[in-house]
Amino acid sequence: MTWIGIKPLTTLLFALLHPFYVSVIDINHNEKEASIEISVRTFTTDLETRIQEEYHVKLDLADPKQKAKADQFINLYVQKRLALSSNGAKYNMDYIGFEIQKESTWSYFEIKNIKQLKQLEVFCEILFGIDPQQINIIHAKANGQKKSFELTAPKNKTQFNF
């Protein structure tokens, strides 16, 4: 009976002693809308740290007074660190916005006028520079197929074929 209470405590203690650095990128081809929808999930403090280090600005993503500033720098940062292309042609991502859910920040982007998606190349260096073991988990969905890949720093590219 005591093991039930100890296991979650041990897991929590292990997580606190050995932090992990991970982002999750969801890429969904919406055939009906002829677009690619991109969601980027990061730990809020990690994203604030990378923006501060890269752009030399102090940013509190949870502060409503800094919303416009946050939109500007999240867009700059992600556009620099995440790129999607197909057959060598780079797609232009439109920034939609962001939201904070608990300790995570979700950033949203869209690529318009993509009727078909058979192949997708992904360049991703989200949060690179915080920890050498940074992991970016990428989920891509197109043509009814869902595929996933884990990029562990320094690896920054992968390709999906649908």
Split into its structural domains, the chain has a count of 1
In-domain check, residue 30: yes
3-state DSSP helix/strand/coil % of the chain, to nearest 5: 30, 45, 30
pLDDT for the residue numbered 127: 92
Q: 150-161, pLDDT tens digit by residue?
A: 999 899 999 999
Cα–chain-centroid distance for residue 55?
19
In-domain check, residue 50: yes
What pTM, to 2 d.p., does this model score? 0.85
Query: Which segments within the chain are labelled E, that is strand?
Result: 22-30, 35-43, 82-86, 89-90, 94-101, 104-112, 119-124, 135-142, 145-152, 157-161
Higher pLDDT, 22 or 79: 79
- pLDDT, average across residues 47-72: 96
Q: 66-123, pLDDT tens digit by residue?
A: 999 999 999 999 999 999 999 789 999 999 999 999 999 999 999 999 999 999 999 9
In-domain check, residue 111: yes
- Per-residue confidence at 2, pLDDT binned at 50, 70, 90? very low
Q: State how far the Cα of 51 lies from the Cα of 84, in Å rounded to an integer.
A: 21
- pLDDT, average across residues 133-155: 94
Sheet with strand 119-124: strands edge to edge: 89-90, 82-86, 119-124, 157-161
* Domain with 69 in it: 21-161
